[in-house]
Structures are given as structure tokens and as C-alpha cells.
């Protein structure tokens, strides 16, 4: 399978923002400008996340998605505040190719099946925010890592994948924004539990972090910090992956 290099854009409307451990958000710039730049650099997908949607009980970046879809011709995924089939359908009609669901799925797991039945599994991403507990277990969080769910990653992945999700967006809260690499133990755990494609998110600080994800069973890496602050380009990451024998889109 071809490994995907994805640009992750966290949105606090109307701004692109970035934090560490999903906290301490700093304004980065205009999200449309960054999406267009990443498209021109050869990104495989754009991943938009409305990170305040849960606070306001709605996703508020439909217009951003629509504008992006007019000039960016790679798959666009959107997450945050999606609570009904109508919410998801509206985003798809606005130009999104996939929707990512976390909080609403935790509250009502059957929602994932409803989405898959209407939109198809290929359009449904299970968003998983995972945090390592003191005892070593991984716990599922919601609301950008603020809320405990009482579920373990082990139990939740096995349950949720039975509902027909097309892929998993796996965020390591502990690694997110640190630029110290993804939590490969977490990735290995989830890989053992499911054959569903896994997109890692969190911790990328250099191109070799992406190959580490690929070698640990990841199908893609959603990257933010090193792209936003121009430490590396998308082609830097793809060139490295190709050089170490990992298939990427050119």
C-alpha cells in the first residue's frame, strides 16, 4: 500500500492554529493559504480539524472546506462537531471527501454504522485521541484531549471497527506537537487490533519519523508543525520515504 503524507490543519475559526499536546494554541495563519501551498508541494491529502467544534456543538468550517475544494484537488477530510448524518452530508456536499468522528461516536457508537450506511465506509474516519495512563494502558479521550471517556484504546478500537469505519486517525496526545516522533507502541497496539488503514498524527519532527510510522504499520502520517513552520517540506518527507524503500505518490 502506498504511504500517504497528509497535512493536518487545526482550525479555530477563522485561523489555522497549532499547539502542543492539543493545548496552548498559537495562531499560525490563514488555513486556505496553507492548504494551497501544501497542495502545490505535492501533499496527498488535507486533514482539517475544527478543534473548537465540540465546545460550540457544531462544525463551523463548511465555507473553508468549500473554498479549499475549488482549488485543491486532493482528498479533504474534515473533523470536529459532527453529530448527525445531516452534519456529515453537508460537509461532503461542501467538498469534503471524508468525515472524521470522535466525540459523537463515543457517545453513540451506532452513529458510525449510520454514517457508513449513508456515505459508505470509505468516507468515514474514526478519530481516536489516545493518552498513555500511568499504568501503561492507553485511554481514549475526547474534546481535544480534555475529556476522559472511561474507555481503553484496546476495547474501543475493537468495538468501533465493527461498525464499518474506513480508516482510523490515531492521535497520540502525548506526542502531539513535541516533534519527538510518534508513539510507536500505541501504533503497534492498534495495528494488532485491526486491518483498517491507520493514519498516525502527532510528534513528527523529521522525515525519518514518517518512515518509523510506515515501518510500524501505519498507512499515513498527518503532519503539522514541521510543515507549518517550514522545517521540512512535503517533498523532503516523500524523498526520504522513497529513498528507504517506502512507496509514496509522486
Residue 199 phi, psi dihedral angles, 5° rounding: -105, 120
CA distance 45 to 186: 23
**Active site (annotated) includes residue 10:** yes
**Long-range interactions of 233-237: CB distance < 8 A, separation 24+:** 233/41, 234/5, 234/7, 234/38, 234/41, 234/42, 234/43, 235/41, 235/42, 236/207, 237/5, 237/207, 237/210
**Active site (annotated) includes residue 114:** no
CA distance 74 to 79: 17
Is 132 buried (19+), middle (13-18) or exposed (0-12) by CB count in 10 A?
middle
Which of 44, 45, 87, 129 does the annotation list as catalytic?
A: 129
Active-site residues, by number, are 10, 129
Amino acid at each position: 500500500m502506498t504511504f500517504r503524507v497528509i497535512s493536518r490543519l487545526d482550525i479555530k475559526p477563522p485561523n489555522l492554529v497549532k499547539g502542543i499536546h492539543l493545548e496552548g494554541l498559537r495562531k499560525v495563519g490563514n488555513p486556505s493559504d496553507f492548504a494551497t501551498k501544501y497542495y502545490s508541494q505535492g501533499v496527498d491529502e488535507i486533514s482539517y480539524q475544527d478543534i473548537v467544534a465540540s465546545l460550540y456543538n457544531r462544525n463551523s468550517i463548511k465555507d473553508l472546506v468549500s473554498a479549499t475544494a475549488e482549488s485543491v484537488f486532493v482528498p479533504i477530510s474534515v473533523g470536529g462537531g459532527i453529530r448527525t448524518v445531516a452534519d456529515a452530508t453537508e460537509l461532503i456536499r461542501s467538498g469534503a471527501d471524508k468525515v472524521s468522528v470522535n466525540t459523537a461516536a463515543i457517545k453513540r457508537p451506532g452513529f458510525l454504522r449510520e454514517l457508513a450506511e449513508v456515505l459508505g465506509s470509505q468516507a468515514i474516519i474514526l478519530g481516536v485521541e489516545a493518552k498513555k495512563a500511568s499504568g501503561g494502558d492507553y485511554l481514549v479521550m475526547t474534546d481535544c484531549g480534555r475529556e476522559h471517556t472511561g474507555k481503553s484504546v484496546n476495547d474501543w478500537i475493537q468495538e468501533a471497527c465493527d461498525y464499518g469505519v474506513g480508516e482510523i486517525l490515531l492521535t497520540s496526545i502525548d506526542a502531539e506537537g513535541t516533534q519527538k516522533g510518534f508513539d510507536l507502541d500505541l501504533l503497534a497496539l492498534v495495528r494488532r487490533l485491526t486491518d483498517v488503514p491507520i493514519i498516525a498524527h502527532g510528534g513528527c519532527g523529521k522525515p525519518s519519523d514518517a518512515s518509523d510510522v510506515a515501518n510500524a504499520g501505519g498507512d499515513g502520517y498527518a503532519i503539522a508543525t514541521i510543515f507549518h513552520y517550514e522545517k521540512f517540506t512535503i517533498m523532503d518527507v516523500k524523498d526520504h520515504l522513497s529513498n528507504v524503500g517506502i512507496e509514496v505518490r509522486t
